[in-house]
Amino acid sequence: MPFSSRVEIVRAASSGKVISFPTDTVPALAVSPAYSPAIFHLKQRQPDKPLILMAASESDIRAYVTGTGEEWQIWREIMEKYWPGQLTLVLPASEKVPRAMNPLDPTTIGVRIPDSSIAREILAETGALATTSANRSGESPLLTATDIERTFPGVYVLESGNWNANSSGQPSTVARWNGNGWDILRQGKIIL
């Protein structure tokens, strides 16, 4: 499939197709949350590796997360400090999160706002998307549009450009809320 314009990417995501675009960490594979199984199938990914909900703003994430007013105050402090950025927060999932995004623990969902203007522009038009790194499970992340298109020929890949301009090439830090504080599940660039 030839590379796609931003308009085509948004249209494809809106119709349940898997898309790919650059982020501030590594390029993403993304799909509307209701179509999450498509990414597991494409990547040959095991169900013990949940997808991350990526969005353009906190308000887009809010419907997918549930917590007390006090918890939201704590979470918002972290969000305001590190977002947009390379931090994924694993929070209690609302009923809006499809079980397929986190098959083994549907009570939680990882959420993130990337520090990439092109990613946020796409997400502002599509709404929150289920995402993961663009690679087959167990392999290194693919870093160019050409490599992604070659590996996943059915995916709508954003037209080639300088994909690595703002990319760290390193996955995000993942921190899970345990009810009292944060457990670091994966250490990335951001240190809590």
User: pLDDT of 140-165, one tens digit each?
Assistant: 989 888 999 999 999 999 986 656 65
pLDDT in tens, the chain (192 residues): 668 899 999 999 999 999 999 999 889 999 999 999 999 999 998 888 999 999 999 999 999 999 999 999 999 999 999 999 999 999 999 999 999 999 999 999 999 999 999 999 999 999 999 999 999 999 998 988 899 999 999 999 998 665 665 666 677 899 999 999 999 999 988 888
pTM of model > 0.85: yes
Q: Which DSSP string corresponds to the chain?
A: ---B-HHHHHHHHHTT--EEE--SSS-EEEE-GGGTHHHHHHHT--TTS--EEE-SSHHHHHTTB---HHHHHHHHHHHHHH-SSSEEEEEEB-TTS-GGGSTT-TTEEEEE--S-HHHHHHHHHH-SEEEEESS-TTSPPP-SHHHHHHH-TTSEEBPPS-TTTT--SSPPEEEEE-SSSEEEEE--S---
